[in-house]
């Protein structure tokens, strides 16, 4: 083709590209960025985070504000729990690419991880402006509202998810936690039980222990035992299942069974001060004061524990060493003057010593602090009417 003919062809076809070396360079750079980006995200999936960061950094050497690279670096830092560094990358991406969904999503997750739930909610709501049917984001926002104890908005969003996807597990679990947090244990139990109905053969152990905990709170201990035992079938050393069983048997006044499970926890965690004290209580309630004293002293050797100290005082009272129990309880009251239970036990010790006026004076000293206590009022009524406290 002559030069004149080529020029005529171009004039007749104005959309035909004229050879431009800069466009070839742009295409080459675009292909290189695409390849680096794919490699970087694959490395991220494989948890090769340092290598992934190297690939994303190479992209920024080519294009300083590339959104794939900035989001990729943000995701890398987020995986390392370097949330502030991740926030910086996501924010930079959004400053050049407003509305980038991946940057918004990552930024919100960072704020959530930092317990800055109000900021996370603000970001997720920006995301929902573009996609208000995204179930993953809706459940995250509902979770965040639950964390800031906004019951109404949290429940609305969880229910919206269930309208979109019946029996969505994240919404059901979230609703369970929401009602549990607000002490609505029957409703919590309802939503967690729905999870069992969906897939009873392969249910998450946390669902079983959660239902068990509802029964503990509702004091239907015998029903709670079933769920905690099922959890132990999956994980014989699960702390929450062992604790739940021990506490259910305590609630059923089967202290000998309770001790069995407290000790199973102590086999795994022998220096757990709380469990040592609970086991001490169980032994004391069976009348085994010697073993109870050993457990209380083990707890006290780890660190001072008011319940272990109280247990030792109650053993003194149980063994008829009333003067020692008075001394121990008096010391505890000086350190914890608003604990009504200490006053009742001290008054009972005085009563056992035939010092009813001193017992009444003890309970009245609590009332003088201006603290209301139904238990103290009832104990005072008994003493004034010449009744015992037991």
Q: For the domain that residue 234 is a member of, what is the CATH number? A: 1.25.40.10
pLDDT of res. 331: 96
What does the mean pLDDT of the chain come to? 91
Residue 111, pLDDT > 70, answer: yes
Examine the domain organization and report whether 181 and 245 are in the same domain: no
Nearest Cα neighbor of 171 from 140, 213, 208, 198 is 140
Nearest Cα neighbor of 249 from 231, 224, 281, 283 is 224
Alpha-carbon span 102 to 272, nearest angstrom: 43
Q: CB atoms < 10 A from the CB of 243, how many? A: 22
For the segment 174-195, the average pLDDT, to the nearest whole number, is 97
pLDDT of res. 26: 62
For the segment 18-32, the average pLDDT, to the nearest whole number, is 59
Residue 7, pLDDT > 80, answer: no
For residue 289, being part of any structural domain is answered with no
Nearest Cα neighbor of 213 from 173, 245, 236 is 245
Residue 16, pLDDT > 50, answer: no
Give me the torsion for CA of 206, 209, 211, 213, rounded to 10°.
-130
Q: Which two tokens stand for residue 337?
A: 């003057």
The pLDDT tens digits of the residues spanning 317-359 come to: 999 999 999 999 999 999 999 999 999 999 999 999 999 999 9
For the segment 116-141, the average pLDDT, to the nearest whole number, is 92
Residue 23, pLDDT > 70, answer: no
pLDDT of res. 127: 87
Alpha-carbon span 75 to 86, nearest angstrom: 7
For residue 139, being part of any structural domain is answered with no
Burial of 241 (0-12, 13-18, 19+ CB in 10 A): buried
Alpha-carbon span 22 to 365, nearest angstrom: 90
Our measurement of the distance from residue 86's CA atom to the centroid of its chain's CA atoms, rounded to an integer in Å, reads: 23
pLDDT of res. 280: 98
The pLDDT tens digits of the residues spanning 232-242 come to: 999 999 999 99
pLDDT of res. 5: 42
For residue 3, being part of any structural domain is answered with no
Last residue of a domain, one of 80, 103, 132: 132
Residues in the chain: 390
Alpha-carbon span 339 to 208, nearest angstrom: 34
For residue 335, being part of any structural domain is answered with yes
Our measurement of the distance from residue 136's CA atom to the centroid of its chain's CA atoms, rounded to an integer in Å, reads: 19
Region at 2 (left for phi over 0; alpha for psi -120 to 50; beta for the rest): beta
CA distances from 184 to 205, 214, 247, 261 (A): 21, 9, 20, 28
Examine the domain organization and report whether 57 and 31 are in the same domain: yes
Band of pLDDT at residue 15, cut at 50, 70 and 90: very low
The pLDDT tens digits of the residues spanning 257-309 come to: 999 999 999 999 999 999 999 999 999 999 999 999 999 999 999 999 999 99
pLDDT of res. 388: 86
The pLDDT tens digits of the residues spanning 323-333 come to: 999 999 999 99
pLDDT of res. 58: 95
Alpha-carbon span 30 to 109, nearest angstrom: 30
Concatenating the DSSP letter of every residue in 284-305 gives HHTT-HHHHHHHHHHHHHHS--
Examine the domain organization and report whether 54 and 94 are in the same domain: yes
CA distances from 93 to 49, 54, 74, 131, 201 (A): 19, 18, 9, 19, 45
pLDDT of res. 366: 95
pLDDT of res. 141: 96
Range of the domain at 342: 304-390
pLDDT of res. 27: 67
Residue 13, pLDDT > 50, answer: no
pLDDT of res. 8: 39
Band of pLDDT at residue 22, cut at 50, 70 and 90: very low
The pLDDT tens digits of the residues spanning 135-180 come to: 999 999 999 999 999 999 999 999 999 999 999 999 999 999 999 9
Last residue of a domain, one of 132, 162, 188: 132
Examine the domain organization and report whether 261 and 335 are in the same domain: no
For residue 1, being part of any structural domain is answered with no
Alpha-carbon span 97 to 67, nearest angstrom: 7
Band of pLDDT at residue 19, cut at 50, 70 and 90: very low
For residue 322, being part of any structural domain is answered with yes
157 and 138 Cβ atoms separated by less than 8 Å: yes
For residue 291, being part of any structural domain is answered with no
For the segment 312-317, the average pLDDT, to the nearest whole number, is 97
Examine the domain organization and report whether 192 and 125 are in the same domain: no
**Which domain CATH number covers 149?**
1.25.40
Q: How many domains does the chain have?
A: 4
Nearest Cα neighbor of 361 from 374, 372, 373, 350 is 350
- The single residue listed with the structure tokens 């490699």 is 39
Examine the domain organization and report whether 225 and 275 are in the same domain: yes
């Amino acid at each position: 083709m002559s030069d004149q003919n080529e020029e005529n062809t171009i004039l007749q076809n104005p959309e035909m590209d004229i050879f431009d070396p800069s466009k070839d360079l742009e295409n080459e750079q675009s292909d290189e960025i695409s390849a680096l980006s794919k490699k970087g995200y694959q490395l991220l999936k494989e948890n090769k985070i340092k290598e992934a960061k190297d690939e994303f950094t190479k992209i920024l050497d080519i294009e300083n504000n590339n959104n794939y690279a900035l989001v990729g670096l943000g995701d890398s830092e987020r995986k390392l729990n370097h949330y502030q560094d991740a926030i910086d990358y996501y924010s930079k991406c959004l400053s050049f690419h407003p509305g980038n969904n991946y940057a918004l999503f990552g930024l919100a997750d960072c704020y959530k991880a930092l317990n800055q739930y109000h900021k996370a909610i603000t970001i997720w709501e920006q995301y929902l402006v573009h996609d208000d049917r995204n179930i993953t984001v809706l459940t995250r926002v509902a979770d965040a509202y639950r964390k800031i104890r906004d019951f109404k908005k949290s429940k609305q969003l969880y229910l919206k998810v269930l309208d979109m996807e019946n029996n969505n597990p994240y919404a059901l679990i979230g609703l369970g936690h929401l009602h549990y947090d607000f002490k609505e244990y029957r409703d919590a139990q309802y939503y967690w039980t729905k999870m069992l109905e969906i897939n009873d053969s392969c249910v998450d152990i946390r669902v079983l222990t959660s239902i068990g905990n509802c029964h503990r709170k509702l004091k239907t201990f015998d029903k709670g035992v079933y769920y905690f035992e099922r959890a132990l079938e999956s994980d014989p050393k699960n702390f929450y299942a062992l604790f739940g069983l021990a506490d259910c048997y305590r609630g059923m006044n089967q202290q000998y069974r309770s001790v069995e499970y407290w000790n199973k926890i102590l086999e795994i965690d022998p220096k757990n001060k709380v469990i040592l004290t609970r086991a001490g209580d169980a032994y004391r309630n069976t009348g085994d004061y010697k073993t109870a004293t050993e457990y209380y002293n083990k707890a006290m050797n780890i660190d001072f524990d008011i319940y272990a100290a109280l247990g030792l005082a109650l053993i003194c009272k149980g063994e008829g060493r009333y003067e020692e129990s008075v001394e121990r309880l008096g010391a505890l009251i000086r350190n914890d003057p608003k604990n009504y239970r200490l006053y009742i036990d001290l008054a009972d010790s005085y009563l056992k010593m035939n010092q009813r006026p001193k017992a009444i004076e003890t309970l009245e000293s609590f009332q003088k602090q201006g603290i209301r206590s139904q238990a103290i009022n009832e104990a005072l009524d008994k003493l004034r009417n010449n009744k015992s406290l037991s």
